């Protein structure tokens, strides 16, 4: 659709925005809007009608209230690192860019909590907390740039979610502006809050309910001791079997990650992490905790690795070596750009016991579609991140890559897994939602969404298949009661 064919934003709506945002923070020129047309999944690109850049919570609220009053869709955006098209704009709507709401409002070391605005970068929280001997546990690969608001929207995980859980396990309260313009408080500063866990419901809602303005995070004590092992294997299946052996032993490492040869080559070229040069796959296992506990567990882990068929096993000798190992792992996605001009990152989950089977299936899919697929994944919880490489200049290459991505997702659900572990459904995976959920389940999800956003103006077009949302017809009930979230009994 050409720009001239798009219905312009109502003049009264633009007047409402101009009354809040000066020209430098209300963008409408194509050259300015182009920077916001896609996120980390560049296969989807939509030019928004305008972008507003609030600097205060009140400005965010005013923008949402203007959208609600005029029925204009909006998409909240942080650093745009979503890999599922979750922050792609809506053609007839606006983007509310949250990067300037980047203040740590309070850090209470005694209560082990931190209150932040949505534009605070993930790693910034841990850096602030380390002064008090604390850290913020969720550590997605993009933690040096991704924002807490985005982490909340997509329930981000990271390498250490095996031991510490996802973002939802570390968010205990929020102040939000719902899509209706209403400002609400969810949860509390207590870990023992009573009643429905609406905070947990909001976390992972992919921006379909509204925007978090303040987020209360749980901090944990800084780890006393690490023991990081890098083991190499002749196949990804062997590395996957080693993961199953570690889990079966009763050990709970802080992290377990696998990289295959393609991923290692890319990361090694980028950061020179010292990865084994001949191995088909590498397993990173990191134990962490009190020094005495790790001393016992490292002996147990060593015995498991030695009987798992590992070709080599190297223990990080110091913090610098450990950080270099992790730098290579966390740069793997971007480093694959050295091997291919274009790639799709998938995000399926399979049961740990079927990791080897899943990796064999992915190899067969790559061969069938004449594509290269690099594998990087959170092995501890079965969260696969196949990187499907293609050259968008070749006719039909993108279509083959998309077909391969679809087959990988169906491989995961066929094994009893999930279409997403931490990247979200977004634009990319919404057609696969019926592979996991029955129509009645999806209808319930729609009803809950409409309870928070009756007009469906918050990040529309994401998560749900393209069918129209069922109407709420439970007259006389509060929307949250109709959705089954709230009970007045």
Per-residue model confidence as pLDDT tens digits over 89-111? 998 999 999 999 999 999 999 99
Domain coordinates in residue numbering, the chain:
3-97, 104-221, 225-429, 437-482
- Is the Cβ–Cβ distance between 53 and 100 less than 8 Å? yes
Locate 285 and state its tokens: 């296992």
In the chain, pLDDT over 70 holds for what percent of residues? 94
End-to-end CA distance of the chain: 50
Locate 304 and state its tokens: 């498991």
In the chain, pLDDT over 90 holds for what percent of residues? 77
In what order do the strands lie in the sheet containing 26-27? 26-27, 50-52, 94-97, 74-77
pLDDT for the residue numbered 468 = 39
Which residue from 301, 207, 206 is spatially nearest to 252, judged by alpha carbons? Answer: 301
Rounded to an integer, the average pLDDT of 118-127 is 97
pLDDT for the residue numbered 128 = 98
Rounded to an integer, the average pLDDT of 199-205 is 96
Q: How far is Cα 215 from Cα 455, in angstroms, rounded to an integer?
A: 25
Count CB-CB contacts under 10 A for residue 341: 12
pLDDT for the residue numbered 333 = 84
Q: How far is Cα 30 from Cα 468, in angstroms, rounded to an integer?
A: 31
Q: Is the pLDDT of residue 473 over 60?
A: no
pLDDT for the residue numbered 5 = 52
Report which of residues 108 and 473 the model is more confident about.
108
Q: How far is Cα 334 from Cα 81, in angstroms, rounded to an integer?
A: 11
Q: Is the pLDDT of residue 389 over 50?
A: yes
Number of H helices, E strands in the chain: 17, 18
Which residue from 377, 357, 464 is spatially nearest to 422, judged by alpha carbons? Answer: 377
Site of tokens 């991923």: 263
Which residue from 230, 212, 218, 116 is spatially nearest to 170, judged by alpha carbons? Answer: 218
Q: Is the pLDDT of residue 470 over 60?
A: no
pLDDT for the residue numbered 6 = 61
Angle at 403 between CA 402 and CA 409, to 5 degrees: 90
The DSSP secondary structure of 292-304, one letter per residue, reads HHHHHHHHHHHHH
Q: Is the pLDDT of residue 432 over 70?
A: yes
pLDDT for the residue numbered 479 = 39
Average pLDDT, the chain: 90
Q: How far is Cα 412 from Cα 484, in angstroms, rounded to an integer?
A: 30
- Is the Cβ–Cβ distance between 211 and 175 less than 8 Å? no
Q: How far is Cα 41 from Cα 47, in angstroms, rounded to an integer?
A: 15
pLDDT in tens, 222-248: 999 999 999 999 998 899 889 989 999
pLDDT band of residue 471 (cuts 50, 70, 90) is very low
Count CB-CB contacts under 10 A for residue 48: 25
Report which of residues 52 and 162 the model is more confident about.
52
Q: Is the pLDDT of residue 483 over 80?
A: no
The domain made up of 225-429 is a member of CATH 3.40.462.10? yes
Q: Is the pLDDT of residue 476 over 60?
A: no
pLDDT band of residue 355 (cuts 50, 70, 90) is confident
- Is the Cβ–Cβ distance between 291 and 225 less than 8 Å? yes
Q: Is the pLDDT of residue 481 over 60?
A: no
pLDDT band of residue 379 (cuts 50, 70, 90) is confident
Locate 402 and state its tokens: 């998309």
- Length in residues, the chain: 489
pLDDT band of residue 380 (cuts 50, 70, 90) is confident
Q: How far is Cα 406 from Cα 400, in angstroms, rounded to an integer?
A: 10
0.85 exceeded by the pTM?
yes
| Sign of the dihedral through C-alpha 61, 66, 72, 77 | negative
Rounded to an integer, the average pLDDT of 46-74 is 97
Two domains, one topology: 3-97 and 104-221: no
Q: Which CATH class is domain 104-221?
A: alpha beta
Site of tokens 């594509």: 371
CATH number of 3-97: 3.30.43.10
Q: How far is Cα 188 from Cα 199, in angstroms, rounded to an integer?
A: 9
- Is the Cβ–Cβ distance between 460 and 454 less than 8 Å? no
Measured CA distances, 363 to 236, 280, 412 (Å): 10, 13, 14
Q: Is the pLDDT of residue 255 over 80?
A: yes
Locate 15 and state its tokens: 């007047």
Q: How far is Cα 312 from Cα 415, in angstroms, rounded to an integer?
A: 31
pLDDT band of residue 196 (cuts 50, 70, 90) is confident
pLDDT in tens, 261-319: 999 999 998 889 999 998 999 999 999 999 999 999 999 999 999 999 999 999 999 99
């Amino acid at each position: 659709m050409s720009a001239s064919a798009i219905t312009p934003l109502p003049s009264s709506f633009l007047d409402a925005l101009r009354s809040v945002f000066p020209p430098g923070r209300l963008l409408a020129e194509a050259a300015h809007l182009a920077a916001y047309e896609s996120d980390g999944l560049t296969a989807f690109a939509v030019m928004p009608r305008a972008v507003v850049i609030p600097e205060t919570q009140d400005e965010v609220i005013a923008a949402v209230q203007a959208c609600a009053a005029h029925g204009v869709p909006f998409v909240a955006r942080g650093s745009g690192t979503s890999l599922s098209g979750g922050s792609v704009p809506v053609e007839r709507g606006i983007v509310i860019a949250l990067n300037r709401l980047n203040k740590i409002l309070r850090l209470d070391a005694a209560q082990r909590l931190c209150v932040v605005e949505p534009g605070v970068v993930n790693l910034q929280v841990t850096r602030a907390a380390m002064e008090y001997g604390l850290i913020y546990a969720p550590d997605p690969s993009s933690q040096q740039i991704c924002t807490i608001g985005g982490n909340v929207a997509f329930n981000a995980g990271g390498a250490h979610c095996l031991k510490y859980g996802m973002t939802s396990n570390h968010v205990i309260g929020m102040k939000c502006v719902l899509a209706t313009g209403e400002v609400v408080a969810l949860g509390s500063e207590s870990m023992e809050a009573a009643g429905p866990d609406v905070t947990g419901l909001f976390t992972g809602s992919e921006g379909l309910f509204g925007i978090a303005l303040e987020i209360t995070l749980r901090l944990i004590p800084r780890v006393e001791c690490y023991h990081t092992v890098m083991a190499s294997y002749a196949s990804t299946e062997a590395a996957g079997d080693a993961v199953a052996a570690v889990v079966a032993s009763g050990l709970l490492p802080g992290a377990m990650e696998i990289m295959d040869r393609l991923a290692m080559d890319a990361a090694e070229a980028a950061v020179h992490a010292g990865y084994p040069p001949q191995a088909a796959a590498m397993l990173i296992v990191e134990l962490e905790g009190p020094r005495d506990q790790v001393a016992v567990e490292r002996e147990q882990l060593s015995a498991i690795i030695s009987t798992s068929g590992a070709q080599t096993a190297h223990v990080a000798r110091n913090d610098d070596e450990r950080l270099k190992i992790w730098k290579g792992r966390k740069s793997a996605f971007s480093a694959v750009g050295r091997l291919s001009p274009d790639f799709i990152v998938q995000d399926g989950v399979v049961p740990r016991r079927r990791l080897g089977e899943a990796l064999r299936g992915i190899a067969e899919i790559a061969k069938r579609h004449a594509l290269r697929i690099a594998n990087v994944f959170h092995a501890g919880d079965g969260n696969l991140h196949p990187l499907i490489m293609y050259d968008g200049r070749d006719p039909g290459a993108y279509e083959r890559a998309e077909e391969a991505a679809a087959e990988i997702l169906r491989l995961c659900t066929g094994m009893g897994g999930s279409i997403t572990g931490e990247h979200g459904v977004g634009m990319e995976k919404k057609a696969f939602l019926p592979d996991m959920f029955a129509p009645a389940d999806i209808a319930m999800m729609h009803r809950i969404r409409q309870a928070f956003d009756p007009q469906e103006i918050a990040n529309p077009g994401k998560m749900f298949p393209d069918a129209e949302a069922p109407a709420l017809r439970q007259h006389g009930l509060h929307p949250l009661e109709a959705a089954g979230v709230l009970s007045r009994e």
